[in-house]
Amino acid sequence: MSLYGTMRTGVSGMNAQANRLSTVADNIANANTTGYKKASTQFSSLILPTTGGAYNSGGVNTDVRYSISSQGTFTYTTSATDLAINGKGFFIVQGSDGVEYMTRAGAFTPMSDGSLQNSSGFKLMGYPYSSTEDPTIVINGFAGLEEINLAAGELNVKASESGYLHVNLPSNAEDPFSKTTSLVAYDSLGNTRKLDFKYSTTGTPNEWSLEVNYTDPVSGTVTPLLAATTLTFDTDGKLVSPTDITLAGPTTIGGGVLNPLEISIGGTSGGSTQLAADFAAKGDIDGIGPSGVAGYEISDDGIVYLKYENGDLAPKYRIAMANVQSPDNLKPLPGNVYAQSSDSGVVVMGYAGNGGYGTIISGALEDSNVDIAEELTSMIESQRNYTANSKVFQTGSELMEVLVNLKR
């Protein structure tokens, strides 16, 4: 065995333990970093072939691996924009360089420009929300994403489109009898429009008439929205027809357009009735009047809602998620973000709660998956092993000195 080889093997062992200590130092330093995934050093032997009966000492190689797929525990907060993923997947964020990355660090804060940025300055990305269909996504790339911006809805108006009104009409009322109730709708400018629903007996059993009008509060002008319509009930007091009505429009009132309204008045459950009880009514019409943003809500499937001062919730964005075939082989980058590598597989896009992706927890952060006790144990082991390898080097050096001194 070569004494030089012995010394080189000792140096190889010291370098390997130094690498292990470096990962331990990183892990301990980031033990409280949101979404941090620990690094570990794996050792593999380097064997040299034996020649002429002489043993050739080899060494040790190291490979750094990351436990990116290992989920950490959760810490709950009071901020609705603090987000954690329970399950597989990554948030998509954009750096100042305009490039998209993946991360599990969800400590997002609303900025003055309306963007949601985490503690490393990366902006959360997603798709505009649509109530009729899911956004079209590029499965294997980040095309089509846009910055989630909460300032876009600072003052919101949504014209009314539909609603319901379920009433009980007293079956024992003496003809003629009429009763009026009202619902408020919003026009295209956010003006409130009080709609009067007038129910009247027709003199025919199990029949009532319904008409809907709008009365201008200033001029007193009455605008018919629904001419007298016959409501027919069966002998059990349930509304047979019609079950839905359409209020005529668009009608321009004071500069705002009141769109056609689809109003549900009956159905298989909870519809209008004709029973021997007092007149009663319950109903609502959608729409939002001019209102500022008072807060935010994010559902477990990643829909971002703006909460307005009047209590209404308006969905604005759908948070995008991504994953790869081998998350542990992603390339870690500064800022606790990851990029696709040749070993990780291609990026696959999706949404929270479906397609194998985890759900989003609002008001929570994923903790680092570092175990301090385990890291301190590794530190002690590395320290002892480094010392032992240094003794090998020192012994080889002493033997070399003995060999040189033979000349004397």
Query: pLDDT for 152-211, tens place per residue?
Result: 656 678 889 999 999 999 999 999 999 999 999 999 888 888 999 999 999 999 999 999
Residues 148, 295: one domain? yes
Where does a domain end: 232, 260, 286? 286
pTM above 0.95, yes or no: no
| pLDDT, mean of residues 262-269 | 80
**Residue 1 confidence (pLDDT) above 60:** no
Between 21 and 405, whose confidence is greater? 21
Residues 16, 128: one domain? no
The tens digit of pLDDT for each residue in 136-151 reads 666 667 878 889 988 7
Residues 225, 295: one domain? no
Residues 224, 275: one domain? yes
Residue length of the chain: 408
* pLDDT at residue 84, as a whole number: 95
Per-residue pLDDT band at 267 (split at 50, 70, 90): low
CATH code where residue 238 lies: 2.60.98.20
287: left (phi over 0), alpha (psi -120 to 50) or beta: left
Total domains in the chain come to 3
Residues 295, 146: one domain? yes
Is there a cis peptide before residue 327, judged by omega within 30 degrees of 0?
no
d(CA 387, CA 385): 5
Residues 94, 106: one domain? yes
* pLDDT at residue 271, as a whole number: 87
Between 17 and 59, whose confidence is greater? 17
For residue 327, give Cα distances in angstroms to 333, 364, 387, 408: 14, 22, 35, 62
Per-residue pLDDT band at 83 (split at 50, 70, 90): very high
The tens digit of pLDDT for each residue in 89-146 reads 999 999 999 999 999 999 999 998 889 999 889 999 998 887 766 666 666 678 788 8
Where does a domain end: 228, 258, 286? 286
| pLDDT, mean of residues 12-28 | 92
Residues 253, 172: one domain? yes
* pLDDT at residue 190, as a whole number: 86
Residues 118, 26: one domain? no
Residues 187, 138: one domain? no
| pLDDT, mean of residues 294-301 | 87
* pLDDT at residue 295, as a whole number: 80
Structure tokens at 23: 């990962």
Residues 164, 281: one domain? yes
Between 155 and 277, whose confidence is greater? 277
Mean pLDDT, all residues of the chain: 88
* pLDDT at residue 52, as a whole number: 67
**Best-predicted range by mean pLDDT among 1-10, 247-256, 257-266?**
257-266
* pLDDT at residue 269, as a whole number: 59
Dihedrals φ, ψ of 171, to 5°?
-70, -20
* pLDDT at residue 264, as a whole number: 94
| Domain, as residue range, for 249 | 160-286
Give the rounded distance of the alpha carbon of 321 from its chain centre: 8
d(CA 136, CA 102): 20
The tens digit of pLDDT for each residue in 326-380 reads 999 999 999 999 999 999 988 988 889 888 899 999 999 999 999 999 999 999 9
The tens digit of pLDDT for each residue in 312-328 reads 788 889 999 999 999 99
* pLDDT at residue 59, as a whole number: 79
Residues 103, 78: one domain? yes
> Cβ distance 298 to 305 under 8 Å?
yes
d(CA 244, CA 266): 7
* pLDDT at residue 153, as a whole number: 57
Q: What share of the chain has pLDDT > 90, as a percent?
A: 56
* pLDDT at residue 34, as a whole number: 92
**Residue 298 confidence (pLDDT) above 80:** yes
Dihedrals φ, ψ of 115, to 5°?
-75, 160
Residues 224, 277: one domain? yes
* pLDDT at residue 279, as a whole number: 95
* pLDDT at residue 401, as a whole number: 82
For residue 99, give Cα distances in angstroms to 49, 85, 383: 48, 22, 40
* pLDDT at residue 306, as a whole number: 84
Between 220 and 194, whose confidence is greater? 194
